[in-house]
Amino acid sequence: MQLGRVIGTAVATVKHPTFRGERLLVVQLEQIDGRDDGEPVLAFDRLGAGRGDRVLLTNDGQALQDMLGKTTPGRWSVMGLPD
C-alpha cells in the first residue's frame, strides 16, 4: 500500500479489453514526508477520487484481478480515500 495524490485522469481509445468502462487516474506516489516518490502511475478507481485528492493505492495483483478479470495487465488500484 502506498499514499499518493491524484494529478489527473487518463483516457485511451485503444485499450486492453479489461479496461473498458474503468476510470483511470494519474497518481503521483508520495513518501511518508509528502515528497514525490518516483514517476506518476496509472491507477484504477471505483471510489470517485478527483484531482488533488489523496488516495491509498495497492499494487496487489490479486485484488485487481478480482476487480477486472484474470487477464488484466493493470497494476495499481485505489483502495481508499484517507481523511
Which CATH number covers residue 18?
Answer: 2.40.50.220
Mean pLDDT of the chain: 94
Tell me, what's the pLDDT at 18?
93
Cα–chain center distance at 39? 13
- Helix boundaries (H) for 1-83: 61-68
pTM value surpassing 0.75 = yes
Domain count, the chain: 1
Asked whether the beta carbons of 33 and 55 are under 8 A apart, the reply is no
In tens, the pLDDT along 17-48 reads 999 999 999 999 999 898 999 999 999 999 99
Confidence class for position 63, pLDDT limits 50, 70, 90: confident
At 72 the pLDDT is 92
SS3 82: coil
- pLDDT of the residue at 7: 98
Domain, as residue range, for 54: 2-80
Compute the distance between CA of residue 36 and CA of residue 72 in angstroms, rounded to an integer.
27
